[in-house]
Amino acid sequence: MRFRYLLFLAVFLVSLPGFTQAQNILWSRTYGGSSWDWSNSVQQTADGGYILTGVTTSFGGSSEDVYLIKTDSLGNTLWSRTYGGDYWDKGWSVQQTTDGGYIVAGATMSFGLAVGLRYDVYLIKTDSLGDTLWSRAYGGSEGDVGRSVQQTADGGYIIVGTTSSFSDELNPDDIYLIKTDSLGDTLWSRTYGGSSGDYGVSVQQTTDGGYIVTGETNSFGNAGDFYLIKTDSLGDTLWSRTYGYETSDDGRCIQQTTDGGYIVTGSTEQPPYDIFDSDVYLIKTDSLGDTLWSRTYGGSSFDVGRSVQQTTDGGYIVTGHTESEDPSPIYTITLTKLDSLGNACIGEFVTSTVSSPFCIITYPSTAVTSPSSVITDCTTEVTSPPTQVTNVCETTSIKEDVSDNQVNIQSVDIIKLYQNYPNPFNLETKIKYNLSQPTWVNLTIYNILGQKVKVLTNELQTTGMKSVTWDGKDNSGRTVSSGIYVYKLRIDKQVVSKKMLLLK
């Protein structure tokens, strides 16, 4: 038995009667070599093909390099490139630029101010064949990561991610927004956050020339909420909002809608709370970020929204992944068509033959493969937009949001648990929590099956912020396999938990 990642690209003809039913696959492709390779972002290109970026350990000159693949309209590889240096380098986001080339954002340990020690934000500009025109690193002496990039109206770029270099010393995790010119030179940068961990995941330029950012905040709202920040053209905050319940909620993708508001998707652990159950979370706001409606979708296990886009009929299309339909640790990709109020649509969609995709999703998970079979677990799905909905939408399959006064969960006032960082991770990750009074603390790692992996802390601790590092090893000192893990913080009968992703 061996563990391995491949890149998997599947294109669908949309014909879906609902959230849990299968789509018609037009074709699928896998990409990679003899080792670990996975994708974090994909976009359809002007010629009808696709561009993917992620990480390769099969090719390039170091343990991890940025991986860029260009395909034709059928997914056949036209060319591929790797970028990086002597250390670890990752690609998180890719977009085709107006000159026909590509812009890639990610993280690098090979360049910048913290070479070999910490990540810096990494930006790579290529021509139409993937050859590097220029590259830049941004950040300081601590860890900084770029998660999303978009070309702006002036020909420059906007990047969002997370910084530990330019944040509070006691809490080295803030949202990091960088605006560059067309050559990648910094015009300005901003950080956003509070006294706890805050992470930027998605950014888009808005019609007024400003920007909308989403991610996760542990500083405001509850411990782990959707975070929306609206800025002007210089990155100064106009307003910010939090959304979510009393446990982990995080925003993964945001888009401005035609009415001037916003649609954002991600995941939530809504009541009743279960560490092995999350739902796709979709929120529609007005232009000031005030909630117009919100919806959750999913089953009895992990369901996460990864990408959302408004459709020409005023509705929305959402992609994500689920384990609710499959008890194995291999993710099933989900595709949901919604009406303008977020209700799931029932019926067939007539698709146009040549058009841009609605939405894209890539996500790695654990796969166990034998030499005679390959199970791909880093998946990208792309849809063609429907031109006509031939049936109606219904609401019976939708779980409506639960208001705060309906929450029934034991208070855990003396502890506050934050999302680990980095996440995903492949070397080590830090778990932070805050104690408002001295107490006995047990911090334990569990695998996806609920089996105990590693006890990190089991002792009496004093008041204050705590930080514990997990190196991906179990109680016996053996390195564990890639996959989703849950860390639980216990105090007496009170328990709080969060999920994290280990990629080896």
| Per-residue pLDDT, 158 | 98
| Per-residue pLDDT, 188 | 98
> What's the pLDDT tens digit per position in 83-139?
999 998 999 999 999 999 999 999 999 999 888 888 999 999 999 999 999 999 999
Tell me the domains of the chain and their CATH numbers: 410-502 (2.60.40.4070)
Per-state percent for the chain, helix, strand, coil, to nearest 5: 0, 55, 45
> What's the pLDDT tens digit per position in 124-161?
999 999 999 999 999 998 889 999 999 999 999 999 99
Q: Which residue has the tokens 């514990």?
A: 468
| Per-residue pLDDT, 181 | 97
Q: Are 483 and 365 in contact (CB under 8 A)?
A: yes
The pairing of strands 211-217 and 429-435 is unpaired
| Per-residue pLDDT, 177 | 98
On whether the pTM is more than 0.75, the answer is no
Distance CA 347, CA 389 (A): 7
Residue (of 80, 125, 69, 135) closest to 98 by Cα position = 125
Strand order in the sheet with 89-96: 89-96, 102-108, 120-126, 132-138
Which parts of the chain sit beneath pLDDT 50? 1-4, 13-23, 325-331, 346-412
